Amino acid sequence: MKLRLPLLLLMLFAPLVAQDAPKRPRITGISHAAFYVSDMAKARAFYEDFLGFQSPFSIPRKDPKEQLVWIKINDRQSVELFPGSEVSPEADRLYHIAIETDDAEGMRLYLQAKGVAVPPKTAIGKIGNKNYFVKDPNGNTVEIVEYLPDGWTMREKGKFMSDRRISTRMSHVGVMVGQLDLSMKFYGEILGFQETWRGGAGATLSWVNLRVPDGEDYVEFMLYAKAPTRDVLLTKHHICLEVEDVAKAGAILASRTLPEGSKPPDTMKTGVNGKRQINYFDPDGTRIEIMEPRTFDGKPVPPSTAPAPAPLPPYQPSVGAPPATRK
């Protein structure tokens, strides 16, 4: 049987087209979460004096009294504190989350090929790392970052990691998600994250955990069935600091002075996922979850089979200057 010429050409060139399609670079972990803070001194007292972390560097802003401050968790993870004067006092505190890749430019080309809006080029930021921002389907800002050997992050490798740190790892970040199907496509199909567990606190699904494809860190989808208020955003948008013994960590923190303006922590509890945890809150109300890596009895908790909430429009994220101008 003879093949028509157009079909023959398609068969011949299809493998070449597939070879030319950009491949996804490695995504090795959660780099950081960035939050707006209303009072930098109080925020630093919470993250440094109370939680025991140190700041390896900062960048002055327009107001000399304000800085963009990095709080170092380990050599590859941090919390970024941005001056709250850059946004409305009623805005959400979460600015962005960041994932680490070993090839930021390759990731930009890959995302572009997948139809994701990306900047025209990969820039090098003020601290010497490659980075740029994209949006997920829910309006969350996601930074793509590649640590360069001569950037500030690697310059301070092995430094600014006090023995007072309550944790040495940020296991996950939590973001609000109203469009689960679209989020699964973006984080799962495009970025290659792998679902590890999902749970529900009621008749509908509440959380979905997706691990980075080339590491152990994960993003936790915080699902919602109605438009979240600002107070809900403060609680749902969070970071999780992993500790081996929550009771011991809680006792250590109880011996320290909670900064003025921070509401008292919750009591220790076992979550729906079977892991013991304590919730703390910084002076702006952002939740910091202290959690053990294993279930309290060592037995796995089966994933929920509850249906996801009906899709809702994205919540309104905080609005400030364009991300490219920030660091």
User: Mind listing the pLDDT tens digit for each residue in 243-289?
Assistant: 999 999 999 999 999 998 899 999 999 999 999 999 999 999 999 99
Q: Which residue from 108, 111, 311, 308 is spatially nearest to 204, judged by alpha carbons?
A: 308
pLDDT value at residue 21 = 85
pTM of the model: 0.91
Q: Which residue from 243, 234, 216 is spatially nearest to 76, judged by alpha carbons?
A: 216
- The dihedral over CA atoms of 243, 244, 245, 248, expressed in degrees to the nearest 10, equals -70
pLDDT value at 91 more than 50: yes
- Please report, for the chain, the start and end positions of each structural domain, with discontinuous segments joined by +: 27-307
* CB distance 251 to 271 below 8 Å: no
Give, for 70, the enclosing helix (H) or strand (E): strand 67-74
Tell me the C-alpha distance between 56 and 137, whole Å.
33
pLDDT value at residue 313 = 80
Q: Which residue from 150, 315, 289, 283 is spatially nearest to 220, judged by alpha carbons?
A: 289
SS3 of residue 249 by DSSP: helix
pLDDT value at 79 more than 60: yes
Q: Across all residues in the chain, what is the average pLDDT? A: 91
User: Mind listing the pLDDT tens digit for each residue in 167-195?
Assistant: 999 999 999 999 999 999 999 999 999 99
Helix then strand count (H, E) for the chain reads 7, 16
pLDDT value at residue 66 = 82
pLDDT value at 17 more than 60: no
* Better-predicted residue by pLDDT, 203 or 323: 203
Tell me the C-alpha distance between 99 and 144, whole Å.
5
Average pLDDT over residues 205-230: 95
* CB distance 211 to 140 below 8 Å: no
User: Mind listing the pLDDT tens digit for each residue in 138-157?
Assistant: 999 999 999 999 999 999 99
In percent, the amount of the chain with pLDDT more than 70 equals 90
Average pLDDT over residues 26-43: 96
Q: Is 297 exposed, middle or buried (0-12, 13-18, 19+ CB in 10 A)?
A: exposed
| Angle at 139 (CA atoms; ends 33, 25), nearest 5 degrees | 60
User: Mind listing the pLDDT tens digit for each residue in 292-321?
Assistant: 999 999 999 999 999 999 998 876 654 444
pLDDT value at 87 more than 70: yes
pLDDT value at 3 more than 70: no
Q: Which fold has domain 27-307?
A: 2,3-Dihydroxybiphenyl 1,2-Dioxygenase; domain 1 (3.10.180)
Tell me the C-alpha distance between 114 and 30, whole Å.
22
